Every structure is written in structure tokens, then in C-alpha cells.
A and B are shown apart, each in its own frame.
Chain A
Amino acid sequence: MAGEDELLVTAVKDFCEKEIENFSIGLERGGFTPQLVAKIAEQGFLALRLSQDKGGAGISTEAYLKMLKEFAVHSPSVSALVMTVNSVILPVLENREGTSDLIQEIISGKIIPGIPVDYGSANGKPGSGLEANENKVTGKLNFITGFGWDAVLADAGKGNIALVSGEPKTRSDHNRLGLRGLSFYSAEFENAECTEFKTENQVKGISDLFEDLSLETAAIALGIAEGSLTKALEYARVRSTFEHLLKDYQPVAFPLTRLLGEKEILQEYLFNHGEFSESEKLYARIVAVELAKNAARQSIQTHGGYGYLEDFGVEKFYRDSMALSVMFGNRISEQKRLSNLVFESDSGFI
């Protein structure tokens, strides 16, 4: 690991051990608090990718992915927050007029607008949309990341973005599966107050940026796998049953060590690769998410009944790996994109 990257990862690790580990159950149960977001912002974690002239750190892709992974080892929810701000919210605002004050508020943790994640349905049709007109907005947004604030940032047609601050007409929570810190909900708006940010240029909207998250989600999945396996390996070393340590049993040791090997190989691929082509990004994402699910499932199994309890910090990885898979992507649409790239023609559509 390059020296500078190592320092950044150590900073994440130290921060998580100090601020996240003791609050992880509270985060799972109640979501982010403004205090926690402020602490994350104080460390500069919400402006990792923003250029230095705009107050950000402007770190490399490789360093950024390593940091996302390290956050996910401790809390996939925190990692997803950092990814959402750095890879979606700030890039979408950066290229639009009148957003500089909002950007500063975001990177200082004073406000984190939610964004809808309903972009990756299998048949390629976004399930949500907004119509903005003279600072009023109407429409339904599905699976918004809550973050503890009511404001929502969403595509509003014609390449514009709307920051919706008005109360929704209806609201339903989807906060049971995983990444619970993000407090997902759906909301219907009717003439709700909003601020529109326009652009004359052809720049990416939120839905476009969502399709670009393959490497970031691969890094988070890698962190979930590492977090799951670390806990399982530690437990297997100390827990006895039938008069032997768990590690002594082949059905425990073999799957854990095989998964560890898969994790190491994926890590090498993700962190020492250089430039990624589109298909290589998708390879990483698809393989990493499957690995995260398998590692988390095996970790629960290794822990037995204790793995099913939130206190041991393992069950969240199982839920979060599935949430990462379905809420920050869609396997079928990803496989279709990958098939198209590999076959260099429309494929995998029947």
C-alpha cells in the first residue's frame, strides 16, 4: 500500500474504532445522528473526491476505494453514506449553477440531502420520477436515503436537479433489510417546496451516476466480506464445542479460509489494477457482492445463535450485503450491461 493511502486508511480505521464501534447498534436502530455526521465531516470524509480548490481532498480513486472498504469493515452504513456524498451528491451538484453554498453545507455535515436509489430495476425502467415547476415539485420518489434530514435531491427532468425541502404528502419506511443507518423511505410529493439547480451542459444526473458506482460498491462489498470473515476467524479461534475449538473442524475452517482466499484475490484486483474498463468494473462489482453475501452468511453460521443477535455485529453484514446488492444496483441489469460489453452486441435479454 502506498504510504499516503496507508495513512488515509489508518485515519478511517482510527475514526471507526473511536466513533463508530461503540455506536454501531445505535446507528443500526436509529440511523445517523447530526452529531455523528458532523464528526464524519470534521475528518474531511465527505469531501474526499472534491477538488482541493473547492475545499476537498481530491484523493485518488485507489485511495478512495481503500477508504470505503475500511469504513465498511466497521459499518457498511457509514461507508454507503461516504460513497453517496462523494460519488453521487457532490458530483451531481458540482456542475450545476448556484450550488456552491449547498456544497459547503454538505461537506461540513450541516445537511446531507437524501437521494432516491430506485434506478436499477431489472427491466431498466426507473420506478420513480419528479416534475418540477417554479420551485414546486410533484411526484413519487422510491427508496430515498434518509440520513436524518428531510431534504431530498433528485433528478427533475431536462438535466436539472431539484432539492426538495417541502413535506411529503405520504411517506413509508423501508428500513428493515439493511444499511439501516441510511433510513430508507419512499415519499409522495404534491406541490412541495423545492430549489432547482439548472445546467446548460450535458452533465450526468443522479441516475447516470448510479450506474457508475460499480467500483465503490465493490469496495464496500469487500469491506463487508473482510468484516464478516475477521469476526468469524476470531470466534473460531476461541469458541469451543464438542471439546474442540471451532477452528479445528473442517466444515468451519475450510469455508472460512477459502472465502478469505477469494477476498484476498478480489482485493488485489480492486486495489492494484490501474484503470478499469467498464466490463472490469462490473466484474469487480458482481464478484464482490456475491463474496460479501457468502462471507456474511458463513460468518453467521460460524457464530451459531450468537451470530443471529445484533450484539455480535455479524448479522448486519448479512442484511447489508443483500441491501447493497439490491438497493445500490440490480444484478439482472448489471449482468445485461456486462453481457452487452462482452458480446459487443445486445445480449442477455431473453
Chain B
Amino acid sequence: MDFELGEELEKYKKKVREFALEHFTEELATASDMNEKYPEELRKLSVEHKIMDSSQPWKILVAVEELCRVDPGLGISLTVPYFGSEVLMLFGSDLLKEKYLEPVTSGEKIMGLAVTEPGGGSDVAGIKTLAAKKDGKYILNGTKMFITNGSIADHFIVLARTDPKPDKRHHGMSVFVVESKYPGFSSNKLKGKMGVRATDTAELILENVEVPEENLVGEEGKGFYYIMTFFNISRIFVAAQGLGIAQGVLDRLMELTEKQGSEFAQMEDIQFAIAEIATRIEAARLLTYKAASYLFEFRPNPAITSMAKAYASEVAVFASEKALDVLGLPGVSGDIERFFRDSKILEIWEGTSEVEKLVITRTLRKQLSEGGN
């Protein structure tokens, strides 16, 4: 059992951190947060510097962690232009990969994933968007909500019902690539988020959007399975966001504690807060890396993945609340308050913590019934 990242990853991690420290200026972070503006120039710069290196998944994990450690809003903004790409990688045809995946990995285009609906939340099987086949095309109608990159992406992976009356709720769903320039597609940027305000979030409206048949991803009717497979991947990266946020808070708490002077630093309440945050980060990191190890070796473990996602998110929230609590005003005048506002979304997106807990128990019970331990 080796707990080290290895020389190559450590070198890459250092490169990502140095990039973030240099380019995630306080001015840019504050302006993006205040104005709810996606940092497009920063994204282009990150592409030039090859910050999101997809040559191996550990690099992406480490990049997400390090970028969020410096600023969650800007960090997540740089990591989500590829959001949903795994669905194409795993299930898309060569044609779809060439047309829609390659321009995204090269940084030329931005993509998004459109699953959640206004009345659905975490209930993926409850979606109502319809895809009706007609004259060799699919006609999509429906509304998607809380879609990351919703008003800036060039195309989306969209989950829709191809069978309006399936035998089971999670049957009869399919995945399509929908370009934002298709007639009938429109988006409304959602303003007034509490945090991660540098990221773009929108409502998508699909009104008789004609989608070519070849834009069907994989097989018709297997959409729910594809999306659940994707969540088993993406939840690990949300856990990495949590690690980054919590670590960023700890960095700042340690620094501000020293600045407050030795009398402050010697208070045991402060020391205990630091110890509790640091311990939880370490535990969350071990859990996240364990989940990632399973996934990157092509044997995903949904229970461990959900544990990592739920726990790392909880740690991010705990760390930011605790740090503000013990620091008081010095925490508010710095950027910890932004980490505080940013962290809460982690317990909601990509499956709420409640859903993760259900996944954990269901998976464990299934393993037990199959004779596992």
C-alpha cells in the first residue's frame, strides 16, 4: 500500500498549483464572484498551459483538488468545460467522439451535461423531457435546470425519454448530443447563486429541437445506465472539489492564525479546530483516493464513491464554517467567506448527500446478499 502520488504526479500537482497561485488573482476571483462572470480568458490560458491533462485520470483528480484549493469558483470553472465528456468517451460512436469530444479536449469548445429538471432534483428517473423519433430525427421537448455551462457551452449531453410509458421508471431513457445552436434551443442564465458564482449555470429550454439520429449516444433506452455510470465517475471529482476547498480553508486558517499572534495561536480552541479540520481532510483524501483507485482500475465501487463524495463535501462545509467561527472578522475580510459560500453546493450537486447515503447502504446490502463483506 503506497500513499504517495509518485514523482510524475507530484510534479504535475506542483505545476497546477503554481498556475493557480499566479493566475487566480484576488481581483479576478472577487470580480468573477461579484459579477457572476465566467472567466473565459483564464480558461484559454489554462488550455495553453495544458492544466487539465487528460492523459491519465489521476492528473485530473489532482488538478481539481489543487485548483479548488486556491479558489473554488475559478477552479471549478476551469475543470467543467469537459463536463459530461466521459459519457462520450465510454458510450459515444467514433463519429460523435471526433465531432464533439476532440474540440472539447483541445479547448476549442465547451460542453455540458443536461440531466436535472425543474421538478426532478436528484430523481433522475423522474425526468419528463421527451425525445420523439420522427423522419429519421429525434424531436426534443422539455426543460433542464441547474445546468453547468448552460449559457456558454457549445453542446450538451442531454438525457430524455424515448419511451413515455416505460415498464419501470428508469427504463426508456436515452442520451443525445444537442448543440446550443440548434433551432428551438434556448437558455436562461441563473443569477443569484450563493457561491461558485464564477461558474455558469442555466436553465435550458428545448422546444421542438430536431436532433440528428447519429447524435444518439450508444443505444436507445440505455440512458439511465449511462448517466449513473457517469455519476460514479463525476462524484469522485466532486469529492476532489471538497478536498480542495477544505485544504484551501486549512491553508488560510493556519496562515491567519499565525498572523493573529502567538497568544491567539496558542489557544487550544484554535489548535483543536485546526486539528479537527486537518484530520477530516486526511480521512476524506484517503477515501477519495481509494474510490479513485477502484474507478481508474476499471472496477468502480459505488459505495466507496458515494462515501467519498458525501464525506468530502461535508468536510468542505465543516472546514469553512469552523474556520470562520474561530477566526471571526479576520476570516471575513479574507477569502474564507467565499469558500464558505462555495462549499455548500457540494452537498447538493451530483446527487445530494441524502442520495449518496442511500447508494452506500443499498450497495452494501447488495454486497451482503451476494456473499461479500
Interface residues of A (CB under 8 A from B): 25, 117-118, 120-123, 127, 142-143, 174, 176-177, 186, 240-243, 249, 251-252, 293, 297, 300-301, 304-305, 307-311, 315, 318-319, 322-323, 325-327, 330-332, 335, 349-350
Q: How far is the CA of A241 from the CA of B355 in the complex (A)?
A: 11
- Tell me if A325 and B121 are in contact (CB < 8 A): no
A307: chain B residues at CB < 8 Å are 348
- Tell me if A322 and B321 are in contact (CB < 8 A): yes
Interface residues of B (CB under 8 A from A): 33-34, 116, 119-123, 125-126, 145-146, 169, 190, 192-195, 260-261, 263-264, 266-270, 317, 321, 324-333, 337-338, 340-341, 344-345, 347-349, 352-354, 357
Give 24 A-B contacts (CB < 8 Å), ordered by A residue: A122-B264, A123-B263, A123-B267, A177-B324, A241-B123, A241-B126, A251-B354, A252-B354, A301-B347, A301-B348, A304-B121, A308-B194, A309-B193, A310-B193, A310-B194, A315-B194, A318-B194, A319-B194, A322-B324, A323-B332, A326-B324, A326-B331, A331-B328, A332-B267
B341: chain A residues at CB < 8 Å are 176-177, 319
Nearest chain A CB to B370's CB is how many angstroms away?
A: 25
- Tell me if B328 and A122 are in contact (CB < 8 A): yes
- Tell me if A326 and B123 are in contact (CB < 8 A): no
Q: How far is the CA of A25 from the CA of B123 in the complex (A)?
A: 29
Q: How far is the CA of A300 from the CA of B340 in the complex (A)?
A: 14
B352: chain A residues at CB < 8 Å are 301, 304
Q: How far is the CA of A269 from the CA of B55 in the complex (A)?
A: 61
A301: chain B residues at CB < 8 Å are 347-348, 352-354
With contacts A176-B337, A331-B325 known, is A310 near B331, CB below 8 A?
Answer: no
- Tell me if B329 and A297 are in contact (CB < 8 A): no
- Tell me if A326 and B328 are in contact (CB < 8 A): yes
Nearest chain B CB to A98's CB is how many angstroms away?
A: 32
With contacts A241-B122, A309-B193, A322-B340 known, is A350 near B329, CB below 8 A?
Answer: no
- Tell me if A331 and B326 are in contact (CB < 8 A): yes
Q: Most A CB atoms within 10 A — which of B325, B326, B349?
A: B325
The answer, among B267, B270, B344, for a CB contact under 8 Å with A308, is B344
Q: Which 4 A-B pairs have the closest CB atoms?
A: A310-B192, A315-B194, A177-B337, A305-B146
B353: chain A residues at CB < 8 Å are 301
Beyond A117-B329, A143-B333, A332-B326, 5 additional pairs, beta carbon < 8 A: A123-B267, A241-B121, A241-B123, A315-B194, A322-B340
- Tell me if B332 and A327 are in contact (CB < 8 A): yes
Q: How far is the CA of A310 from the CA of B263 in the complex (A)?
A: 40
Q: How far is the CA of A322 from the CA of B266 in the complex (A)?
A: 24
Nearest chain A CB to B127's CB is how many angstroms away?
A: 12
- Tell me if A242 and B126 are in contact (CB < 8 A): yes
The answer, among B195, B260, B344, B357, for a CB contact under 8 Å with A123, is B260
- Tell me if A293 and B321 are in contact (CB < 8 A): yes
B194: chain A residues at CB < 8 Å are 300, 308-310, 315, 318-319
A174: chain B residues at CB < 8 Å are 332-333
Nearest chain B CB to A282's CB is how many angstroms away?
A: 16
- Of all chain B residues, which has the CB nearest A249? B354
Q: How far is the CA of A186 from the CA of B329 in the complex (A)?
A: 11
